[in-house]
Copies of this chain bind each other. A is one copy, B any other.
């Protein structure tokens, strides 16, 4: 893996942070190029032509190749490391939680945080406003499912942290910025503390 790594990102995005957090746990250096999504910097002709034709970040650049989708980028970085279980079922179970993260967690918890904190309640469209209650409920369900799972174990899969923990950490640890009350999920809170105590951990603002 001699290719130079460049992360095209917006630092406040949990999807970008999870890639940096994976790299930090692996002790792997990664260059960063910052785009302000609030100013449309991922919609410029240059970005659309050279980085990602659909104008989204994060994109992990590996040499001259480009990899969108945050969890795929984490998998690329961690492939062959202890962050991905060797056991076949455990490896699939890790991916299960990563797909859970993108399907049940991020579209609710991250989107509500984005709407509340970055767009601002008054600036929401009617359709967005109509979706808020359902997204809040679905986000609470995702947190409850995580809490139930963590009631009996320290990490999502097996006996050590994996990419499932890293990917779920990214937006869980800032869920309160979207108005989610983490005191309702004590096992999630204890797991967040365990994650932050790991050697190699970096904060989102790092």
Instruction: List residues of A whose CB falls within 8 A of some B CB.
Output: 1, 53-54, 62, 65, 67-73, 75-76, 79-80, 88-89, 91-93, 95-96, 98-100, 102-103, 106-107, 126-127, 130-131, 134, 141, 145, 148
Contacts and interface: CB of A to CB of B under 8 A. Distances in A.
Nearest to A78: B92
If over half of A's interface residues share one DSSP class (helix, strand or loop), that class is named, otherwise mixed; here it is helix
Contact of A88 (B1, B99, B106): B1
Nearest to A79: B88
Contacts of A93: 67, 72
Contact of A67 (B65, B73, B89, B131): B89
Contacts of A68: 96, 100
A203 to B, nearest CB: 25
Nearest to A68: B96
Contact of A72 (B67, B95, B130): B95
Nearest to A91: B79
